[in-house]
Structure 1
């Protein structure tokens, strides 16, 4: 055992594109993503390569937005929301094999409660996802969804 790792990587902002009036609270790890006008990105957020976030969307602290996610405008992503692009379709992690990853599309005016988990799905406009929900299937009808797996409750 030793006192330092062989490789130490710093978090930060690299190759990200920002619209006008964007607020970012550090520390964050943002790379290769696009953040629309007047967005808010809270601390301890990671937004990966090729993610696109629409105007006026707020992403609260401790959220993780992986590659292949698109989020519309006027959305709210609560604290600790996790997006998943690897469904372990071969019984374990894809280990970097992007051909096994799947995409997620979030519409406009979507609010996702704290600690929700969003698997690769499409969510239409005007949807509320309750705190702690696990979204396993696409949502095609506006409304309020909660539970694990998430289902329409209102």
Structure 2
């Protein structure tokens, strides 16, 4: 490993073995450790490579611990958060378009109150498209939007 990562060549083998112990204990082999060290893309050569590696690993461990603490403090549940995206909702597209139609109507009313061009005037394409789609969803076969 030391021969493959040029900036580690001045470090003593025993010291490298000691600072890389978290990775070797985690089951990483020499090729994977070499790839990890190369992924740091150093543009300089550390004066003490083993100490640099030790500091980087400590920083990564602290960052990981801190993010775990934040997630625990906020009560973040990945399964619960992604459940909305995995649930089967046949009316999801209809609900979204109805929300967009309401938003467009609200925006148009606000623009008209301020004296700007009104988007809900006769013949606007967006409003007509929303109305046609919403009217046609009643005849849509069940499961068309899964």
TM over 0.5: no
Q: Which has the higher contact order (CA 8 A, sep 6+)?
A: 2
Structure showing the higher helix proportion among its residues: 2
- Whichever of the two has the greater Rg, that structure is 2
| TM-score, normalised relative to structure 1 | 0.22
| TM-score, normalised relative to structure 2 | 0.23
